[in-house]
Structure 1
């Protein structure tokens, strides 16, 4: 039991350092592993979408399998991407992948064109007429262009995205894209220098969430254009999840899609094993001012998130606690330990110290998918469609 407590302490230490909601109960409130196993026996992923049932919605809806996730940068989006990709992997879903980007499948800015996509499952290459309205899921980076997405996605597709507090998103992008390697001083000192500079030439540090969601950079300082675009997004996107309330957001996703709790389980991806010192309030204000469009976007959809939580009904807290127990069960069923390893950031060739999950011996394929990096799941999906 002593070793078990150490293990739970490790889980909590990793998760509380991420900027997300804490995932697991404090040690004192957890049942023993044997007790939890009797209550929460692991369920295999559902593979038959026609005959499966939802585990807590009492059969009042049928699971929905068509989904567009407008992936944003440095918001924890890779974790959500993996949830959706694992869901689609076990259901033989067709994913929107750029056939010219075999490493990630991302769609480059403005390049969502049928003749640049990997074909859907069981469709021949270059049979472009059969590509139309024949994709189930999109999870890669792209700029939100609803008219183009409607051409390739099945008509019943739901649309979601993920937003993060612009202060945290900006700081994460600043570090990830190597700006701390270009100068001297603490991360905060270098952020201030960058913000005070006359030239800002990095699109990832300029209202990037709003850019991902389709607003041109020329309109970032136009308050009327920003407000109109937010209203447009509120009409067109079914759910915007919030990173700071990730578990709460996932419950809303589960309800929207009529998925089971098992369908939204996850282990966090691309997590730094150490973080910078907290920024001062004055620096946070500078970041919010610079990212004014992102700030308006985040504030609006953070408010709508809580409206949706309120309308979820009285079971919300019960379901949230149940989901946290399922998360704990997943970790203990799949993971032996979590360690750190140096990983090179794609394209930038900058080393990162990231958390690595090591699975238990004789683990299942499902646990392997959960624990491995998202790129491993992507390779499986790519191989299935690259016929």
Structure 2
């Protein structure tokens, strides 16, 4: 029986359509596969290179000089590679299917944290990215209606964002009272650490942490932030008729420092923030024993130079989520002047800030020792950076009105980033302090017998978010 012309044409058409469908499916799958492979390769190269470099120095993680050692520089270079234009383009070329495919292809050994810690105390240090950490804490507590430890001051009072006077620690006389049925949940304002005072104030299960920075970099940031606004004793230093006033300062810093070290931001400031007695800031044996004690009380000491790694370690320890720890950097001074410090200047700085260098070198080792115990740590850091890039680009448009969807991953549930979330990510710490301060005052004095009467209400402060 002969096949008709129509049947032949139909068979040819069916064959062609089948071939076309197979070709499209192959092309689609191949493109997805290539993107997946590229994504995995970038992530693996990053995580394996960093982890191998760290493990090769496992027994001797330390700073060999005032700047970051060669190992740290290599890690920093790898960190910077995450933000290259080529990689950014690749990340934002991924469509929804590819992102979900990559995320869900890594669902093995999923960690589940169903109960984030809500008793968390952050010891805020100066010029260490602590304001960015503070903004994370503020968002976490504000939207969960938690009880903050806040200074018992008026919001327009000098140093209203500090608890107590310079050198004071927490006491029931200098913080806003809590309701009888409440516990103090969170701390993120500036205050001097004192072991006994903190134990008497916080619940026994409170997670205590802080952040520090390589001391020379901290000095540079401090001078750029305080110095060129001519604040305090910096005016005396920088108004000298010298070619390099900071070099002259480092030759004899005691000539310029305030008589009370608690007013200084250049005399072992991180160590003093952490409660090291000012009378012992050059006592080597005391410094060593004091920092050993700190290590038993602080769950984590984060490093500013490895900010994203620090946040991922914090997230894992506290069971917080990616949405809890996303951020937009805060309180960054736009001017970055070169201090032109010589090798002798740097050596003088090490001698003057002997406690801060000892602090950094000790907790630098401890930080990386903790990291090396974590599984798939750098994979999570890499994934977190991809989320941060999306969040920062999304929130950078002041007129944007859409939400951003972040999908589930093996490390954290997905979330929706709303326009309001962007607003709270961008407001500065003092604006947020004002709002939280008012809420805590209203709780403490519900009948209006507030001894620090405010002239505004929480609703009146809505303009801060516009």
Give the shorter-chain TM-score range: 0.7 to 0.9
* 2:347 maps to 1:288: no
Residue equivalent to 1:199:
255
* 2:395 maps to 1:331: no
Query: After the TM superposition, which of the residue ranges 285-294 and 358-367 deviates more from structure 2?
Result: 358-367
**Contact persistence 2:224–2:333 (CA under 8 A):** no
CA distance 1:39–1:372, change in 2 (3 Å): farther
Query: Greater Rg, structure 1 or structure 2?
Result: 2
Pick from 63, 76, 81: which aligns with 2:129? Answer: 76
Pick from 87, 107, 110: which aligns with 1:29? Answer: 87
Between Structure 1 and Structure 2, which shows a larger proportion of helix residues?
A: 2
**Contact persistence 1:25–1:325 (CA under 8 A):** no
Which whole-Å deviations, capped at 9, do the CAs of 1:195-222 have from their partners, x for residues lacking one?
2235242421110100000011110111
Q: Once the 2 structures are TM-superposed, how far is the Cα of residue 374 of structure 1 from its aligned partner?
A: 1.6
CA distance 1:139–1:60, change in 2 (3 Å): closer
Which whole-Å deviations, capped at 9, do the CAs of 1:3-27 have from their partners, x for residues lacking one?
xxxxxxxxxxxxxxxx996495311
Residue equivalent to 1:301:
363
Instruction: Give the Cα–Cα distance (whole angstroms) in 1 for the partners of residues 131 and 354 of structure 2.
Output: 25
Instruction: Give the Cα–Cα distance (whole angstroms) in 2 for the partners of residues 374 and 168 of structure 1.
Output: 22
SS in 1 for 2:255: coil
SS in 1 for 2:248: helix
Q: Once the 2 structures are TM-superposed, how far is the Cα of residue 67 of structure 1 from its aligned partner?
A: 0.6
Say what the alpha-carbon RMSD is for the aligned residues.
2.5
SS in 2 for 1:366: helix
Q: Once the 2 structures are TM-superposed, how far is the Cα of residue 155 of structure 1 from its aligned partner?
A: 2.2
Which whole-Å deviations, capped at 9, do the CAs of 1:232-268 have from their partners, x for residues lacking one?
1001000000001111111110011011122111111
Instruction: Give the Cα–Cα distance (whole angstroms) in 2 for the partners of residues 208 and 249 of structure 1.
Output: 21
SS in 1 for 2:83: coil
Map 1:229-244 onto structure 2 (within 5 A). 229-244=290-305
CA distance 1:39–1:210, change in 2 (3 Å): farther
Residue equivalent to 1:351:
none
Instruction: Give the Cα–Cα distance (whole angstroms) in 2 for the partners of residues 36 and 329 of structure 1.
Output: 13
Q: TM-score, normalised by structure 1?
A: 0.77
SS in 2 for 1:206: coil
Q: Once the 2 structures are TM-superposed, how far is the Cα of residue 72 of structure 1 from its aligned partner?
A: 0.5
Instruction: Give the Cα–Cα distance (whole angstroms) in 2 for the partners of residues 360 and 288 of structure 1.
Output: 48
CA distance 1:194–1:37, change in 2 (3 Å): farther
SS in 1 for 2:265: helix
Between Structure 1 and Structure 2, which shows a larger proportion of strand residues?
A: 1
Residue equivalent to 1:143:
192
SS in 2 for 1:205: coil
Residue equivalent to 1:372:
427
**Contact persistence 2:224–2:337 (CA under 8 A):** no
SS in 2 for 1:114: coil
Instruction: Give the Cα–Cα distance (whole angstroms) in 1 for the partners of residues 128 and 246 of structure 2.
Output: 18
Instruction: Give the Cα–Cα distance (whole angstroms) in 1 for the partners of residues 219 and 113 of structure 2.
Output: 41
**Contact persistence 1:163–1:240 (CA under 8 A):** yes
Instruction: Give the Cα–Cα distance (whole angstroms) in 2 for the partners of residues 201 and 61 of structure 1.
Output: 49
SS in 2 for 1:87: helix
Q: Once the 2 structures are TM-superposed, how far is the Cα of residue 176 of structure 1 from its aligned partner?
A: 2.6
CA distance 1:57–1:370, change in 2 (3 Å): farther
Pick from 157, 179, 204: which aligns with 2:206? Answer: 157
CA distance 1:290–1:258, change in 2 (3 Å): same
Pick from 174, 177, 180: which aligns with 1:119? Answer: 177
List runs of 5+ in structure 2 lacking aligned partners. Answer: 1-75, 101-108, 228-233, 259-263, 403-417, 443-466
Residue equivalent to 2:245:
190
**Contact persistence 1:254–1:260 (CA under 8 A):** yes
**Contact persistence 1:79–1:266 (CA under 8 A):** yes
CA distance 1:75–1:86, change in 2 (3 Å): same
Residue equivalent to 1:106:
162
Instruction: Give the Cα–Cα distance (whole angstroms) in 2 for the partners of residues 32 and 170 of structure 1.
Output: 36
Residue equivalent to 1:13:
none
Which whole-Å deviations, capped at 9, do the CAs of 1:131-169 have from their partners, x for residues lacking one?
8x8110000111101211222222211000110111111
